[in-house]
Amino acid sequence: MNDDKTVWGVHAGAGGEVDETFLKKGVIAMGWSEVPDIAAMADPKEGIKGAIRAAQPKSTLRSVAGQAGQLYRFFAEMEPGDIVVYPSKIDKQIHIGQVVGPYFFDTASLGHYPHRRRVEWKKKVPRTSFSQGALFETGAFLTLFQVKTYGQEFLDALKGTVEPTPPGIDETVIEVANSTAESTEDFIRKILSQQLKGHPLAHLVGYLLTLMGYRIDIAKPGADGGIDITAYRDELGFEPPIVRVQVKSSDGAVGGPEVRQLQGTLASGECGLFVTLGTYTTAAKACLKGHPGLKLIDGDQLIGLILAHYEGLSPYYKSLIPLKRVYVPQPMQEDSEDGDEA
In a domain, 36, yes or no: yes
In a domain, 81, yes or no: yes
What's the confidence (pLDDT) of residue 341? Answer: 45
What distance separates the 2 farthest-apart alpha carbons in the chain? 80
pLDDT of 271-296, one tens digit each?
999 999 999 999 999 999 989 999 99
Percentages helix, strand, coil for the chain, rounded to the nearest 5?
40, 20, 40
CATH classification of the domain holding 18: 3.10.590
Per-residue pLDDT band for 167 (boundaries 50, 70, 90) equals low
CA distance 312 to 233: 19
What's the confidence (pLDDT) of residue 16? Answer: 76
What's the confidence (pLDDT) of residue 53? Answer: 95
In a domain, 182, yes or no: no
* Co-location of 170 and 216 in the same domain: no
DSSP β-ladder status, 115-126 and 83-87: unpaired
Which 8-state DSSP code applies to residue 13? -
Domain residues for the domain of 220 are 190-320
pLDDT of 43-91, one tens digit each?
999 999 999 999 999 999 999 999 999 999 999 999 999 999 999 989 9
121 has which bridge partners?
A: 97
**pLDDT higher for 87 or 108?**
87
* Co-location of 227 and 110 in the same domain: no
In a domain, 238, yes or no: yes
pLDDT of 205-237, one tens digit each?
999 999 999 999 999 876 545 799 999 987 776
* Co-location of 104 and 65 in the same domain: yes
CA distance 106 to 21: 12
pTM of model > 0.75? no
**pLDDT higher for 35 or 173?**
35
34: left (phi over 0), alpha (psi -120 to 50) or beta: alpha
pLDDT of 6-47, one tens digit each?
999 999 877 777 898 899 999 999 999 999 999 999 999 999
Decide which of 175, 210, 229 is a domain's last residue: 175
Mean pLDDT of 227-249: 87
Residue % of the chain over a pLDDT of 70: 90
* Co-location of 204 and 157 in the same domain: no
Structural domain total, the chain: 2
* Co-location of 163 and 35 in the same domain: yes
Sign of CA dihedral 218, 219, 220, 225: negative
What's the confidence (pLDDT) of residue 112? Answer: 81
